[in-house]
Each structure stands twice: as structure tokens, then as C-alpha cells.
Amino acid sequence: MKELAGKNILLGITGGVAAYKSAVLCRDLMRRGAEVRVVMTEAATHFITPLTLQALSGHPVHSELFAAEAGHGMDHIELARWADRLLIAPASAQTIAKLAHGEADNLLTTIVLASDAPLLIAPAMNNVMWEDAAMQGNVDLLLARGVTMLGPASGDQACGEDGLGRMLEPLEIIEHLQLQLQPGLLAGKNILITAGPTWEAIDPVRGLSNRSSGKMGYALAGAIYDAGASVRLISGPVHLRSPHGVDCINITSAQEMADTVMANVSICDIFVAVAAVADYRPANCVKQKIKKNAETLSLELVRNPDILAMVAALENAPFTVGFAVETENIIEYATQKLTTKRIDLIAANPVSGDNSAFDSESNELTLIDRNGISHLSRCSKTLLAQKLTKEIAHRYHETHPAKDS
Ligand SMILES: Cc1cc2nc3c(=O)[nH]c(=O)nc-3n(C[C@H](O)[C@H](O)[C@H](O)COP(=O)(O)O)c2cc1C
């Protein structure tokens, strides 16, 4: 398994508790064939010794900008030119702030400025630090410049809190890197993807919706973009930032989503329906807020358009991928959906008990197509999105060989 053979990865390590994971990251990058050089900030050396990284990478660790013994005193330029990818893991709040503002006051930040290699950043910090407005502003600046943000993930933190800010696991970081370094997977393809819930208005202040957070769809849109495709995302109301490089159209209701999909579907090679679209909507949205005068209230609901079935029934239908969310008989219902709607691939996920896919950071999927059933085991939605991207690309290329020749 030498997926990263011949690739030069500059691994930047900054001062955070997650620096201990960088040793595993370094070892696993090398196991996959990558050449790794390590640059540590001064703060990072308080958390893990340069000797450990030197032993693992087989090369001296660089941390001094003004190191007299370095080749011609130009370490930063040599390393900047050498790297195919700059990967900073963990990336501290401090280093992220410096990078966002183009500062170059240590070896690592100077290399980033001096290099035109794509930059990947795996943030790791306390959840309150991560959510701070200044921090998020810095992340926005970096995203707008095309920097890839890997995570952070949610969960237990070294500070005792639970929330968003954990560094992604080394394996997840490597999956991202591999996807970026094989951009041909869906290169040149146009993908249309829906995500999030829909909102069906009852009156001006109330509506029917569901628990979809949009996280799976957004992660998938990002992973498909990383695989080289042009991605248009049609999203219901969510609290998520658009993935870098993805063209996002915001809608509210199922009817708006159906209209927007049908207006965009003709240009796409693959359609992925991740959105949790309401099956029904109130027959009438009343203009004024409904008062609570009566003891009971009945709502008449009418069927919404079945977007996936509409797309799959088109004469020149794209390769269609649907998501099935079920609380019971997952395989049976998903298989029915596959055959009745004539979809190419169904990704089924359970929503029961602790394993609920809704608003969770992790998920698992059962993939069903005409050839059978396979399973993608539970992991973060980011990693799952990458795995699913590979599965979609593999099936698409198998069924569309003529288009690619
Ligand atoms: C015990 C300890 C743990 C820390 N953990 C983190 C962390 O996880 N993330 C972070 O952004 N900063 C953390 N810090 C603060 C950074 O080490 C500090 O901001 C430092 O200046 C970062 O410098 P650098 O970005 O040059 O590595 C921690 C500090 C201490 C003392």
C-alpha cells in the first residue's frame, strides 16, 4: 500500500496537546511511501521531542529560522520548494492566526509564505477557542484563499470539555491527502448534490422540518470537490459554512429544492440526493400567525415532489445516488427505493437510538446497488464522505466507460 509514493510532505507541528498524534501521522505517511520532513514551532517542542520525529522521519527536524548550520541559511526556501504538500497538524490557534494574516515570524510560517504548494491545516484546540469570532474570521480568510481545513472533529478534549476542536485522527488526515493527490477520481465531472432539511411553512412563524443538520451532504460536497469535480450544492436551511470551491444555492422548501434541481440537472453527470426533503407540506400557508383559539387544530398536508424519482426518470438521467434514512427494515426499504425509483446507488443509514445519523459527527452507511450490498463502517462524516466519493466514482466509471474514453 504505497499510495503516497514519491510525494514530498512537509509536516508542520505546532504547540498543542494533539502534537502527540503527529508522531503516528508521520509514521503512517511514511508507511504509505511519502517522503516526510518535519518542521516544529518552538511551542511544539514542549509537547513532543524533535528526537521522536527525527527518528520516525529519518531526517533532522527543523525548527530554527536562523539556524547557522542549515544549508546556506536558506532552509525555509529549500523546504518550501521541496514540498508537494504542506500539512500542519496540529495547527494551533496562534499559528492559524499568523497564517491568516500572512505573518512570517518563525520557520514554519515563513515556509508557508515562501511555498506555492497547497496547504492543509488540521486545527486542534479547546472548543471555545475554536468557536471564537476572531478564530472563525481567520478560518474564513484561509478558506477563501483555498486552504484545506481538515476538521476539527467533535468529542472529548484534553481540557476536559466536549465539543468541536479535536484534531482529526491521523488516518482521516491521510485519507484527505490521498484524495487531493489523486484529483483524477472525478476530474472534469459535474456533480449536483442536495443537502440539509427543508422547511414547509405553516404560517409566517411556524413550519414543518426535520432533524437533518446537512453535515453529511456538506462533507460529501467537499470530498467530491477534492476529487476534482465541479460541485453545485443545493442546500436547505443549515448552520454550516459552504465547503471551499463548492457553488452553493440556498433554498427553503421542498418545492424550491425540486425547482432548483430541475433547473440545474441537465448539466450534471452525477446527482446525489442527501437532503432530507419533507414528503408533505401544508396545503395552505396562512398569511397571519395562527392563534391558539381552538382546542385542536388539523393541518391538511399535500405530497411534495419526489425529487430523486423525478431526476431518475429523466430521459438522459445522470448517475443517481440517493440516501435512505430509516428507523427499521433499512435494507428492505432501501432496496425497494432502489428498484421502484430506478436509482443507481442507495446509501442507507439508520436513525435509531445512539446510532442516529442526524446532527451527529459520525455515521455509517450501507450501500446498495444492482450488484449487491456493502457496508462503510462508522467513522467521522468527513472520512465517510471520502470513502463514499470513492465508491460513487468507481461505480460511475464502471457504468459510463464510453463517456470517459
Ligand atoms: C498545556 C498547554 C496546552 C495547549 N494546547 C493548545 C491547543 O491544543 N491548541 C492551541 O491552539 N493552543 C494550545 N496551547 C497554547 C499554544 O501552545 C500557544 O498559543 C503557543 O503560542 C502556540 O504557538 P505555535 O502556534 O507557534 O506553536 C496550549 C498551551 C499549553 C500550555
144: domain CATH number is 3.40.50.1950
Instruction: For residues 200 and 255, state if they share a domain.
Output: yes
Residue 15 alpha carbon to ligand 1 centre in Å: 4
Tell me, what's the pLDDT at 210? 92
Question: How remote is the CA of residue 240 from the centroid of ligand 1, in Å?
Answer: 26
pLDDT at 356: 57
Q: Does residue 363 fall inside a structural domain?
A: yes
Cα of 39 to ligand 1 centre, how many Å?
16
Last-in-domain residue among 152, 181, 210: 181
Averaged pLDDT, 276-292: 93
For residue 372, the CA-to-ligand 1 centroid distance in Å is 48
Instruction: Say what the pLDDT of residue 117 is.
Output: 87
Q: 95 CB less than 6 Å from ligand 1?
A: yes
- Residue 38 and residue 26 in contact, taking contact as beta carbons nearer than 8 Å: yes
Integer Cα distance of 273 and 266 in angstroms: 15
The DSSP bridge partners found for residue 13 are 40
Please indicate whether residue 125, judged by its CB atom, sits closer than 6 Å to ligand 1. Answer: yes
Overall domain count for the chain: 2
Which residues lie below 8 Å from residue 140, measured CB to CB, with a gap of 6+? 241
Same domain, yes or no: 368 and 383: yes
**Per-residue pLDDT at 353 exceeds 60:** no
- What is the three-class DSSP state of 287? coil
Q: Which residue has the higher pLDDT, 75 or 392?
A: 392
Reply yes or no on whether the pLDDT at 136 is more than 50: yes
Whether the pLDDT of residue 378 is over 90: the answer is no
Residue 305 lies in a domain: yes
Decide whether any atom of ligand 1 lies within 6 Å of the 17 Cβ. Answer: yes
Answer yes or no: is the C-beta of 41 below 6 A from any ligand 1 atom.
yes
In a shared domain, residues 194 and 177: no
Residue 386 has what pLDDT?
A: 86
Whether residue 177 sits in one domain with residue 207: no
pLDDT reported for residue 362: 76
Is position 208 within any domain?
yes
Please check whether residues 224 and 159 belong to one and the same domain: no
CATH (domain of 241): 3.40.50.10300
pLDDT of residue 341: 87
373 in a structural domain: yes
Is position 3 within any domain? no
Among candidate residues 26, 159, 285, 379, the one labeled active-site is 159
Please say if the pLDDT value at position 402 is more than 80: no
- How much is the mean pLDDT over the chain? 90
- Tell me what the mean pLDDT of segment 130-149 comes to: 90
Which class for 305: exposed (0-12), middle (13-18), buried (19 or more C-beta within 10 A)?
A: middle
Residue located nearest, by CA, to atom 13 of ligand 1: 16
Give the pLDDT score at 338. Answer: 87
CA 46 – ligand 1 centroid, Å: 10
Mean pLDDT value across residues 262-279: 96
Q: What's the whole-number mean pLDDT along residues 251-274?
A: 97
| Residue 44 Cα: closest atom of ligand 1 | 27
Residues 35-57: tens digit of each pLDDT? 999 999 999 999 999 999 999 99
Residue bearing the CA closest to ligand 1, atom 30: 16
Contact 186, 403 (CB under 8 A): no
Give pLDDT, residue 358. Answer: 62
Tell which one of 22, 61, 63, 94 to mutate to probe ligand 1, the residue whose CB is within 8 A of the most ligand atoms: 94
Q: Are residues 195 and 71 located together in one domain of the fold?
A: no
Tell me what pLDDT residue 359 has: 63
Task: Tell me the average pLDDT across 169-188.
Answer: 87
List the residue whose alpha carbon is closest to atom 25 of ligand 1: 95
164 and 205 both lie in a single domain = no
pLDDT confidence tier of residue 162, bands split at 50, 70 and 90: confident
In a domain, 2, yes or no: no
Report CA(92)–ligand 1 centroid distance (Å).
Answer: 6
Which of 163, 181, 199 corresponds to the end of one domain? 181
Do residue 192 and residue 175 come from a single domain? no
Average pLDDT for residues 159-168, to the nearest whole number? 83
Residue 98 CA: nearest ligand 1 atom is 25
Q: Specify the pLDDT at position 74.
A: 61
Q: Is the pLDDT of residue 203 over 50?
A: yes
For residue 144, pLDDT over 70 is answered with: yes
pLDDT score, position 404: 45
Does the pLDDT value for residue 354 go beyond 60?
Answer: no
87 within 8 A of 13, measured Cβ to Cβ = no
Q: Are residues 112 and 196 in the same domain?
A: no
**Would you state the pLDDT for residue 183?**
67
Q: Which residue has the cell 398536508?
A: 301
* Least confident among 81-95, 161-175, 228-242, 391-405: 391-405
Between CA 110 and CA 251 the distance in angstroms is 42
pLDDT score for 325: 82
For residue 93, the ligand 1 atom closest to its alpha carbon is 11
Give the sign of the dihedral formed by CA 185, CA 188, CA 190, CA 194: positive
Provide the pLDDT for residue 405. Answer: 41
Cβ-contact 163, 232 below 8 angstroms = no
Q: Which of 81-90, 170-179, 187-196, 313-322 has the lowest mean pLDDT?
A: 170-179
The bridge status of strand 270-273 relative to strand 190-195 is parallel
Q: Among 181, 203, 220, where does a domain finish? A: 181
CB-ligand 1 contact for 15 (6 Å cutoff): yes
Kindly state whether residue 137 falls inside one of the protein's structural domains.
yes
Q: Do residues 138 and 204 share a domain? A: no
Pairing of strands 85-91, 8-13: parallel
The whole-number average pLDDT for the span 199-226 is 92
How would you label 111-133 residue by residue, b for 16+ Cβ within 10 Å and e otherwise? bbebbebbbbbbbbbbbebbeee
Give the pTM.
0.74
**CA–CA–CA angle 204, 205, 209 (5° rounding):** 105
Same domain for 317 and 199: yes
Tell me, what's the pLDDT at 40?
Answer: 97
Say if ligand 1 is within 6 A of residue 165 CB: no
- Annotation marks residue 159 as catalytic: yes
Domain that holds residue 51: 8-181
Which residue's CA is the closest to the ligand 1 atom numbered 9?
125
The pLDDT, as a whole number, for residue 229 is 93
pLDDT bracket for residue 6 (50, 70, 90): confident
In a domain, 161, yes or no: yes
The band of 124, judged by pLDDT with boundaries at 50, 70 and 90, is very high
Same domain as 162, residue 285: no
Question: For the packed helices 170-181 and 381-399, what is the interaxial angle rounded to 10 degrees?
Answer: 30
pLDDT over 60 at 95, yes or no: yes
Most confident of 64-68, 333-337, 353-357: 333-337
Residue 16 Cβ contacting ligand 1 at under 6 Å: yes
Task: Answer yes or no: is pLDDT of 403 > 60.
Answer: no
Helix axes 381-399, 215-226, angle to 10 degrees: 60
Report pLDDT for 220. 94
- Residue 65: the pLDDT is 83
Predicted confidence band of residue 381 (pLDDT cuts 50, 70, 90): confident
